[in-house]
């Protein structure tokens, strides 16, 4: 048996910059070079996915870094085929590192004759040979139960807490955390607890999917610097509308912290033209050029957390320890001194 000295990383095409950043951070943590396994993930002319690995992976612990973001189906197939490739190449284990888990919004049947696609995707991943999943801010916590394999769900709130304390350090007593809907209260409460801020809720009512008919603010936001917290920003319609309602209720300014910046359709334009002073997203989905060029959109890195989580999984130590401020702060020391 070969001696296993380091975990090995392989990446698809969904978010190559994040995979390279994770490898770089792991190299810093380990004191030795941790690079991405040399492989090609390409398409045939009819768009079939083809994977070929150029390095020996027999007996190795492999970590596949691949978000299932847009195009969701292509990136999902890349993940499944990479997993099958590793299994047939006698890798010792395969862990799927999925910073953004696509299809997570289809986690239940909202009406008759509709699928639960998140469960289907979970089955596909497990059947492909994946033995563990590492992800961030699942849209619904119960998705962990859809898998028959271990799932480690990281949280962006510890990173956001560091960012808020850094950028609002002179006015932290004026900050109020806002949940954009009742379903996101637990996520918002977690950030509010970390920064010692009060909590308010924007209650939204929909006439049909994608359209908000009415919004009501539960809580007094007058004179507050409001921070909206959510897991996904897709078209940004609800987010921008919530910001307008908060300003109408007397908020001093509105900022948003969103884990997954899907940013589809008119999202970037809406954010740029909205009353929001800033939108902070993570790099769980590779930011497009319009997102990077937008003056009021800022991207915070997740590579330090994912790199340490991979090392903890590989070393058999606690992943939940990364949620502690004293553990996470040194990983982001270069950003938030």
List the catalytic residues. 204
| Burial classification of residue 298, based on how many CB atoms lie within 10 Å of its CB (0-12 exposed, 13-18 middle, 19 or more buried) | middle
d(CA 206, CA 237) in angstroms, rounded, equals 12
Q: Cis peptide leading into 334, omega within 30 of 0?
A: no
Contact 51, 39 (CB under 8 A): yes
* Distance, CA of 228 to CA of 184 (rounded, Å): 10
Closest CA to 255 of 214, 289, 300, 210: 300
Query: What are the CA-CA distances from residue 284 to residues 43, 74, 123, 185, 304 (Å)?
Result: 23, 17, 22, 22, 12
Indicate the SS3 state at residue 95. strand
Q: What beta strand segments (E) does 130-265 contain? A: 132-136, 151-154, 175-179, 199-208, 211-218, 225-233, 253-261
φ/ψ (deg, to 5) at 16: -60, -40
Note whether 248 and 273 are within 8 A (CB).
no
């Amino acid at each position: 048996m070969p001696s296993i000295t380091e975990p090995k990383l392989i990446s698809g095409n969904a978010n190559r910059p994040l995979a390279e950043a994770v490898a770089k951070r792991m190299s810093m943590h380990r004191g030795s070079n941790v690079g991405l396994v040399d492989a090609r993930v390409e398409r045939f002319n009819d768009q079939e996915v083809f994977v070929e690995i150029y390095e020996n992976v027999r007996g190795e612990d492999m970590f596949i870094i691949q978000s299932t973001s847009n195009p969701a189906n292509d990136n999902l197939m890349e993940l499944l085929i990479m997993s099958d490739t590793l299994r047939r190449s006698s890798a010792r284990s395969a862990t799927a590192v999925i910073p953004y888990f696509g299809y997570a919004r289809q986690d239940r049947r909202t009406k008759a004759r509709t699928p639960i696609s998140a469960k289907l995707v979970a089955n596909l991943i497990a059947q492909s040979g994946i033995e563990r999943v590492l992800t961030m801010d699942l849209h619904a916590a119960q998705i962990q139960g859809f898998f028959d394999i271990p799932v480690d769900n990281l949280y962006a709130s510890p990173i956001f807490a560091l960012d808020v304390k850094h950028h609002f350090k002179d006015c932290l007593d004026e900050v109020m955390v806002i949940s954009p809907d009742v379903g996101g209260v637990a996520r918002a409460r977690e950030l509010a607890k970390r920064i010692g801020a009060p909590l308010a809720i924007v209650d939204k009512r929909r006439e049909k999917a994608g359209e908000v008919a009415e919004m009501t603010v539960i809580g007094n936001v007058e004179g507050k610097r409001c921070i909206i917290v959510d897991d996904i920003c897709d078209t940004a319609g609800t987010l921008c509308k919530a910001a307008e309602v908060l300003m109408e209720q007397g908020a001093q300014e509105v900022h948003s912290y969103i884990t997954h910046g899907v940013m589809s359709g008119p999202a970037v334009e809406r954010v740029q033209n909205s009353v929001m002073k800033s939108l902070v997203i993570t790099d769980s989905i590779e930011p497009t050029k319009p997102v990077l060029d937008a003056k009021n959109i800022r991207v915070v890195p997740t590579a330090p957390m994912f790199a340490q989580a991979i090392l903890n999984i590989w070393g058999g130590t606690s992943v939940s320890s990364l949620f502690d401020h004293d553990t996470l702060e040194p990983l982001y020391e270069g950003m938030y001194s």
